[in-house]
Structure 1
């Protein structure tokens, strides 16, 4: 439900307790009520009909006749969202124009306002399909991906005190058989006080190089600088060869 907020203003101006204007009654040839908006400091003028174009959306609910809207000092209806990306939303509501710039940002706002037709159109675009659909479905095949990624960063930060670089080992275990195969070397590394994070096993046929790329991409998205390379293990008690162990090196300063 759209919540209101109290705003003091000279008498005669619209307040948050003033109900939204009613839409014209059916059959009457009058134009829809014009409203002024303040979206995160950006000002827009439109009609209630445009804002209510998709019944059931959060935006339509914000401007339903029963809603108590928050207004700014000039009586404009206020929405506390990024104003820059509201214009493409408004253009779509007005004329059905699909945005061609700032696609991820507009997609986020379309999701917030729950404008489902626009969300679906944006999800078909390469920028959103690749990241939000294809890559997300890929990572869903890796159990505990987000938790293991968070552990990687936490371990790297814990080792970063007074040093410029810190490293975390990553073991990619693709199958249940590999899980048993790598258990010995993981114990060996932990005995050597190495920080190791295991990903997998997983059931789908995933490419380990793609998973490494996703890890590097998500670490970078969090603002960290990290590179990875193959880590060779020399265990005195075994002659096995381990190919799926990598060292992620974080640089801090």
Structure 2
């Protein structure tokens, strides 16, 4: 290698040793040492993560350095990284390219970053995906669209809203944001979906067809006559899953279609749901309650 090549400061060598990425746990709030992060949140991020500024919550999990109680070790100009088991070498200026990102805050000297046994700064994240984030920081390279969804989450996690804003225009991310926003209209949606799957599994033990009756209601039914018997043996007594009430313009049919589509996207074999079955009770006033039947094939 020539002297001109070795002295070229624009070249950054990367040593990549792929291993199984270490799962990242949700950071815990630390009320004693809450970090003040300048990172901005994106509106789609709150939909995908169910919380506010992701980068700020991540920084809450790091120890804040103190010039009084802690000896601050300055970061070198070239940073050796271990990201979930994958090794990288990059410049400190690269990690701090966007001042309002979590990475810039993390390597600002205000936080203590753990090191591995070899002295590499350790980030508990998906090491393979981090390589794409690093390329964006270096030269603005936008990752391939097939990685758009997981990288959108990683960009949001690290507070790289510049990259997240580019990714959230890609079809897969747009579709995910719309889907998650749609599901967020319904209370306890994920819990209800899990309950539907569990009930279907139990009912499919002998027939391989999981039949689930759901009582879905946007608003509570309130009788208007004194002759209405609330213990009339309503059809909803056959329901194994309940969802409602909720605010917003969408009705019960939209919820069932949303759930049905979501299960199909997850790979379940779902038969088109049947029209709602209404209660037949009438005594001065008809009962307005009804159930849906959903069938999952196993």
Of 9, 17, 21 in structure 1, the residue corresponding to residue 75 of structure 2 is 21
Counterpart in the other structure of 1:106 = 151
SS at match of 2:172: helix
Of 189, 211, 214 in structure 1, the residue corresponding to residue 235 of structure 2 is 189
Counterpart in the other structure of 2:122 = 78
Of 45, 50, 54 in structure 1, the residue corresponding to residue 89 of structure 2 is 45
SS at match of 2:212: strand
Q: Deviations over 1:47-74 (max 9, x none)?
A: 0001011223221122122432222222
Q: Which runs of 5+ in 2 are unaligned?
A: 1-58, 64-70, 224-229
- Residues 110-189 of structure 1 aligned to structure 2 (within 5 Å): 110-132=155-177, 134-156=178-200, 159=203, 164-173=208-217, 188-189=234-235
Alignment check: 8 A CA contact 1:228 1:247 kept: no
Matches of 1:82 and 1:146 in 2, distance apart? 25
Counterpart in the other structure of 1:90 = 134
Alignment check: 8 A CA contact 1:20 1:67 kept: no
Counterpart in the other structure of 1:55 = 99
Matches of 2:248 and 2:79 in 1, distance apart? 54
Matches of 2:109 and 2:203 in 1, distance apart? 57
Alignment check: 8 A CA contact 2:216 2:252 kept: no
Distance change >3 Å, CA 187–CA 224, structure 1 → 2? farther
Between 194-203 and 55-64, report the one with greater CA deviation. 194-203
Between 46-55 and 221-230, report the one with greater CA deviation. 221-230
Alignment check: 8 A CA contact 1:228 1:246 kept: no
SS at match of 2:112: coil
Q: Which runs of 5+ in 1 are unaligned?
A: 5-16, 23-32
Counterpart in the other structure of 2:295 = 249
Matches of 2:74 and 2:268 in 1, distance apart? 47
TM-score, L = length of structure 1: 0.67
Q: What root-mean-square deviation, in Å, do the aligned CA atoms of Structure 1 and Structure 2 show?
A: 4.0
Matches of 1:80 and 1:187 in 2, distance apart? 55
Distance change >3 Å, CA 125–CA 207, structure 1 → 2? farther
SS at match of 1:127: helix
Distance change >3 Å, CA 246–CA 65, structure 1 → 2? same
Matches of 2:252 and 2:92 in 1, distance apart? 50
- Residues 1-12 of structure 1 aligned to structure 2 (within 5 Å): 1=59, 3=62
Matches of 2:186 and 2:233 in 1, distance apart? 22
SS at match of 1:168: strand
Alignment check: 8 A CA contact 1:57 1:114 kept: yes
Distance change >3 Å, CA 221–CA 55, structure 1 → 2? same
How many Å apart are 1:96 and its aligned residue? Answer: 1.6
Matches of 1:235 and 1:79 in 2, distance apart? 57
